[in-house]
Amino acid sequence: MTDTPIDDTTMNEPPVNEIPFDILQHATLTLPDGQTADLPIVVGSEGEKAVDIARLRATTGYITLDDGYTNTGSCMSDITFIDGEKGILRYRGYPIQEIAKRCSFVEAAQLVIWGELPTPEQRHHFSDILAENSALPEDFLPHFSAFPPHAHPMSILSAMVNALQTYDLPGMTIDSDEEFERVSATLISKVRTIAAASFKSSIGEPIMYPRYDLRYVENFLHMMFSRPYRDYVPSAEATRALNLFLILHADHEQNCSTSTVRMVASGQANLYASVAAGVCALWGPLHGGANQAVIEMLDLIQESGMSTREYITKVKDRTAGIKLMGFGHRVYRSYDPRAQILKQACDDLLESLHITDPRLAIARELEEVALEDDYFVQRKLYPNVDFYSGTILTALGIPPEMFTVIFAIGRVAGWIANWKEIHDSANSRIYRPRQIYTGPNEREWINRFQRERNTTQGFIVPEELRSHTA
């Protein structure tokens, strides 16, 4: 660590963040070497406070360290507000409960991306361009049969979203509002066509074309379940449940996949490439992949005949290395409001479709046992959005491998909105975190023939050379 300010090219630059209001307060940081740093306090529109450390290294030589970004605000954003302590979620200021009750997914996506509820005219116009852009190019379709039969649909989705860009060369550079709207509509519409096509390919059925006369969710269900010789007509309850699912997944501020999209966008990658990166980041079981993992957990409990209490005991016994999937969240320290809405929707859907799914009973019991258990109470672990969502998707006839794909269809809206914030910001810079290096200090090169392999520690310095490197 240097004692004096280091030679940093950013030193004379203006503060990195474009702070849209006056800085009224500062914090003073005193460092062990006696330096002090005067740090601006940034306050968000809901009163959240942050210490802006953008110039800390330039003025003191210190960086901040926050492995896993537990306490780091990576950006300022106008899109989504979450209060994890109170269980509040709002898109563009509107409470999620209100949006879930009153919106279609397409309207919610327009709200998330453009910041305002669409007028009837804007809604119809956007529906039209969604319909116009719903079909995949004919010469794109053979790609689906090139994947092996058991390819995971998330793998196919990310590859195909990225490949879409090769069919839209003008979409590489978005330089007008109209072009942004067209590329956004293409992604929102085609991601659903790709998802259904990957499902059809995986079960060896012909890919179904989208229909111009169907609305967004019905069109998706048609492409998933119709056959060339038999139309699938979804029930109103099924359409409503999927619409709700997509709305609740449309955005969730700076989670793992959205941060990835922003990271990729910050290098000025195109919208297709940025969204494809988001799909990859969503896939993991600690993030969007948890919805598939929850159903697998419920199946395991059912098939093994284990009681829910026995399963919870295994979770608490950390040596087993298993988690209660669909529980816990980095931001929520209370009930995830999306889980609350989905729990009720799950009850309603199963009742209206006259389905009895034993997994729902297991999920309810797991929740009851966990919420009374000190382990979960002390750590403030509650059901998250993924805990009940898989039961809904199962009732709609969607297989577990497709769950995270359906999540991605909803989240594309949020990824596009976040990409737009980066793209539209005059002050946007490449995302480039720093690190604290903990590897070896500079050392002497070992010639190839002089290296010895140590199976436990990797390469070691041979005895005769040790004095040279000491």
Selection from 47, 68, 64 nearest residue 56 by Cα: 64
From the list 17-25, 31-39, 135-143, 318-326, the region that binds ligand ACO by CB under 6 A is 318-326
Distance CA 250, CA 161 (A): 18
Tell which one of 278, 288, 390, 414 touches ligand ACO (CB under 6 A): 288
The torsion defined by the Cα of 203, 209, 214 and 218, in degrees rounded to 10, comes to 10
**Catalytic hit among 168, 252, 329, 336:** 329
Complete DSSP assignment for 175-216:
-SHHHHHHHHHHHHHHHHHHHHHHHHHHTT-PPPPP-TTS-H
Strand, helix or coil for residue 115? coil
Known catalytic membership, residue 143: no
Distance CA 345, CA 351 (A): 10
264 binds ligand ACO (CB under 6 A): no
CB 1, min distance to ligand ACO, A: 28
Distance CA 167, CA 161 (A): 11
CB 216, min distance to ligand ACO, A: 22
CB 152, min distance to ligand ACO, A: 18
CB 330, min distance to ligand ACO, A: 4
Q: Which amino acid is at 15?
A: P
Distance CA 363, CA 311 (A): 12
For ligand ACO, the closer CB: 202 or 384:
384
Q: Which amino acid is at 88?
A: I
For ligand ACO, the closer CB: 136 or 312:
312
From the list 15-23, 57-65, 382-390, 453-461, the region that binds ligand ACO by CB under 6 A is 382-390
> What tokens were used for 411?
């989240």
315 binds ligand ACO (CB under 6 A): yes
From the list 48-56, 82-90, 262-270, 320-328, the region that binds ligand ACO by CB under 6 A is 320-328
CB 50, min distance to ligand ACO, A: 19
For ligand ACO, the closer CB: 223 or 242:
242
406 binds ligand ACO (CB under 6 A): no
Widest CA span in the chain:
81
Q: Which residues of 226-248 are buried (b: 16+ CB within 10 A; e: fewer)?
A: beeeeeeebeebbbbbbbbbbbb
Count Cβ atoms below 10 Å from residue 201 Cβ, excluding itself.
Answer: 21
367 binds ligand ACO (CB under 6 A): no
CB 78, min distance to ligand ACO, A: 22
Known catalytic membership, residue 249: no
From the list 108-116, 153-161, 321-329, 424-432, the region that binds ligand ACO by CB under 6 A is 321-329
**96, 167 in Cβ contact below 8 A?**
no
329 binds ligand ACO (CB under 6 A): yes
Starting at the edge strand found earlier in the chain, the sheet holding 36-43 runs 25-30, 36-43, 49-51
HSE of 370 in the Cβ direction (CA atoms, 13 Å)?
27
Tell which one of 215, 314, 323, 423 touches ligand ACO (CB under 6 A): 323
Q: Residue 310 burial (CB < 10 Å; 0-12/13-18/19+)?
A: exposed
366 binds ligand ACO (CB under 6 A): no
For ligand ACO, the closer CB: 380 or 451:
380
Tell which one of 211, 215, 240, 330 touches ligand ACO (CB under 6 A): 330
From the list 135-143, 167-175, 190-198, 319-327, the region that binds ligand ACO by CB under 6 A is 319-327
Tell which one of 258, 292, 384, 418 touches ligand ACO (CB under 6 A): 384
**52, 37 in Cβ contact below 8 A?**
no
Q: How far is CA 177 from CA 181, 205, 420, 424, 444, in A?
A: 6, 39, 10, 10, 56
Residue nearest to ligand ACO (CB): 328
- Binding residues with ligand ACO: total (CB under 6 A): 19
Tell which one of 277, 325, 392, 413 touches ligand ACO (CB under 6 A): 325
324 binds ligand ACO (CB under 6 A): yes
CB 309, min distance to ligand ACO, A: 15
CB 265, min distance to ligand ACO, A: 20
The torsion defined by the Cα of 188, 135, 199 and 147, in degrees rounded to 10, comes to -100
Complete DSSP assignment for 282-343:
HTSTTTTTHHHHHHHHHHHHHHHT--HHHHHHHHHSGGG----TTB--SS-SS--HHHHHHH
CB 390, min distance to ligand ACO, A: 11
For ligand ACO, the closer CB: 232 or 375:
375
From the list 22-30, 42-50, 285-293, 453-461, the region that binds ligand ACO by CB under 6 A is 285-293
> What tokens were used for 438?
């903990």
**Catalytic hit among 67, 386, 423, 468:** 386
Residues of this chain that interact with ligand ACO (CB under 6 A) are: 255, 286-288, 290, 315, 323-330, 379, 381, 384-386
> Which residues are tagged catalytic?
329, 386
